[in-house]
Chain A
Amino acid sequence: MDKMKLSQEQLKELRYFIYKRGFREPEVMMEILDHFACKVEDKLSAKPGMSLEEAMKEAHNEFGYNGFYSIKASLDVFTRKRYKNVYWAQVKAVLKNIPVMLLLAALGYGIYTASVWAFVNKKTDWMFDENVVGISFWLIMLIAELYKLQRINKNLKKSYHIHIAKMAVVFAPYALWLFLPTRMTDSPKRILFSSLVIALIAVWYIIHYIASWKLLKTAQKDYEEFKSFHPNENPLA
Chain B
Amino acid sequence: MEQNQVVKGSLTTIIMKLLEDNGRMYGYEMTKAVKEITANKMNITEAALYPALHKLVADDILTTTTEMVDGRMRKYYTLTKKGKKETANKISALQEALDSVQLILNPKIANG
By a beta-carbon cutoff of 8 Å, the part of chain A in contact with chain B is 5-6, 8, 11, 30-31, 33-35, 37-39, 62-64, 66, 70-71, 73-75, 77-79, 81-82, 85, 225-226, 229-230
Contact = CB atoms under 8 A, between A and B. Distances in A.
Contacts of A225: 66
Contacts of A38: 28
B109 interface: no
A70 B46 contact: yes
Contacts of A85: 58, 60
B45 A229 contact: no
B73 interface: yes
B9 interface: no
Contact of B58 (A6, A8, A64, A82): A82
Interface string B68-103: 111111110000000000000000000000000000
A35 B47 contact: no
B107 interface: no
Given A70-B50, A71-B46, 16 more contacts: A5-B70, A30-B72, A34-B28, A34-B72, A35-B28, A63-B46, A63-B47, A66-B47, A71-B50, A75-B54, A77-B51, A78-B58, A82-B58, A85-B58, A225-B66, A229-B68
A33 B54 contact: no
A219 to B, nearest CB: 14
Contacts of A34: 26-28, 69, 72-75
